[in-house]
Amino acid sequence: YQTNNHTAANKADTVQSKYINQPLVSHIYTADPSAHVFNNRIYIYPSHDTATGAPGNEQGDHFDMMDYHVFSMDGVGSKVTDHGVALSLKDIPWAGRQLWAPDAAYANGKYYLYFPAKNKQDIFQIGVAVSDKPEGPFKAAAEPIKNSFSMDPAVFADDDGSHYMYFGGISGGQLQRWDNNVYHADATNKYGEELAVLPRMARLGKDMLSFAEPVKEIKIVDKNGNLFKAKDNDKRFFEAAWVHKYKGRYYFSYSTGDTHNICYAIGDNPYGPFTYQGIILHPVEGWTNHHSIVQFKNKWYLFYHDVQLSGHTHLRNIKVTELTYNADGTIVPIKAMK
Ligand code: FUB
């Protein structure tokens, strides 16, 4: 997660000419937008980036977020409402620091906010908070979700009412430290011939507060059915899992991290395996690339972020653009800069 060195000097120029879409909000920095349609309105659950002065390093210490805001809008292009602080670090009993990329779901007449944070031992886990309203405020459970680890939760609601959480991220997200659901503090990232670390998932319990089954790995394979190696870093999973369904098939999309692509793979069921298809979103400005995909009124949208407003990797701004499919169900790749 290295910072980039953009200067303010040429910014006015780049704002005019370089970006295909403009930030959805500019009064605060926002990132990792998870979008959902609730009550016929688009709700966005992003990270809230802040400049706390935390040092920039590979562990991502500079992503030092302290709270979440929820945003909503009638449709793409409509006014965006900031609903204010929905959950604060100080109100999460188990959390120590770093509120990273969240997601949300609706069930049982309630709204659930899922979020990663480092616990008091500085190990990432995933928490849940509950509200009667999609915009919150949310009340956090006293403990993280049992058996959860790493970060970037994404909750997919299937047509039969089942909810599945997909999660994990290597490097700063600590996923490389988890093998067979056991923690190894000293495990490091690999970049060679060994198999790439796989993202994880679990079906959520009916209470939406727990996992209903042991955490499983998700296989992302090439067209020959082979898993990627750690060195295949333009394709292998790094972070930012998202799942959506299109014409009965399951699309698992994710960021390749150090090569900055949003890629996707398609499977026949929520557990995979998922077969790699290609790039959805080419690298954006800033080190991280993180997205969500949602259908609204017969159109599909890709929410993402870049660093147009700040020029700094840890101070991002959320954006949206339309997503289109080819007749065979593959996605037309997007370049978000001219
Ligand atoms: O926002 C902090 C981290 O940056 C997220 O959890 C990652 O996906 C990356 O976007």
Q: What is the pLDDT of residues 277-305, one digit of tens each?
A: 999 999 999 999 999 999 999 999 999 99
Instruction: Provide the mean pLDDT of the chain.
Output: 95
Catalytic annotation present for 239: yes
The per-residue pLDDT for 40 is 98
Alpha-carbon distance values, 290 to 133, 154, 163, 214, 266 (Å): 25, 12, 21, 26, 18
**pLDDT-above-70 percentage for the chain:** 95
256, pLDDT greater than 60? yes
- Does the structure show a pLDDT above 70 at 5? no
Residue 17: pLDDT band by 50, 70, 90 thresholds?
low
Atom 9, ligand 1: residue with shortest CA distance:
288
Q: Which class for 297: exposed (0-12), middle (13-18), buried (19 or more C-beta within 10 A)?
A: exposed
Q: Is the pLDDT of residue 96 over 80?
A: yes
Mean pLDDT confidence for 251-262: 98
Instruction: Compute the distance from residue 32 Cα to the ligand 1 centre, in Å.
Output: 6
Pick the residue whose CA is nearest to atom 3 on ligand 1.
100
Mutation choice for ligand 1 from 239, 259, 304, 316, CB with most ligand atoms inside 8 A:
239
Buried/exposed code over 13-49 (b: 16+ C-beta within 10 A; e: otherwise): eeeeeebebebbbeeebbbbbbbbeeeebbbbbbbbb
Token readout for 141 is 């459970």
Q: Is 292 helix (H, G, I), strand (E, B) or coil?
A: strand
pLDDT for the residue 338: 81
What is the interface pTM, i.e. ipTM, of the complex? 0.98
Distances from the Cα of 106 to the Cα of 10, 113, 157, angstroms: 44, 9, 9
Residue 15 has pLDDT above 60, yes or no: no
Query: Which ligand 1 atom lies nearest to the CA of residue 98?
Result: 2
Average confidence (pLDDT) over 118-137: 98
pLDDT exceeds 50 at position 310: yes
DSSP single-letter state for residue 67: E
- Classify each residue of 138-170 as buried b or exposed e, where b means 16 or more C-beta atoms within 10 Å of its C-beta: bebbeebbeebbbbbbbbbbeeeeebbbbbbbb
Rounded Cα–Cα distance for residues 49 and 313 (Å): 10
Omega cis (within 30) before 116? no
pTM of this structure: 0.95
Q: Is 32 a catalytic residue?
A: yes
Ligand 1 atom at shortest distance from the alpha carbon of 32: 10
For residue 111, what pLDDT is reported? 99
Stretch 86-114: mean pLDDT, rounded? 98
Measure 287 CA to ligand 1 centroid, in angstroms.
10
Residue 99: both structure tokens together:
């509120």
- pLDDT at position 11 over 50: no
- Checking if the pLDDT of 3 tops 70, the result is no
3-class DSSP state of 8 = helix
Among 254, 316, 258, CA closest to 280: 254
> What one-character DSSP code corresponds to residue 211?
B
Q: Which atom of ligand 1 sits closest to the CA of residue 31?
A: 1
Q: Record the tokens describing residue 91, joined without a space.
A: 């109100």
pLDDT digits (tens, 9 = 90+) for 227-254: 999 999 999 999 999 999 999 999 999 9
Rounded to the nearest angstrom, the distance between the alpha carbon of 60 and the centre of ligand 1 is: 8
Marked catalytic residue, from 103, 239, 285, 306: 239
pLDDT greater than 70 at residue 85:
yes
Residue 177 phi, psi dihedral angles, 5° rounding: -85, -5
**pLDDT at 14 (0 to 100):** 42
Mean pLDDT of 197-226: 98
DSSP of 77-112, one letter per residue?
Answer: TSPPEEEEEEEEGGG-TTEEE-----EEEEETTEEE
Q: What is the pLDDT of residues 157-191, one digit of tens each?
A: 999 999 999 999 999 999 999 999 999 999 999 99
| Nearest atom within ligand 1 for CA of residue 289 | 10
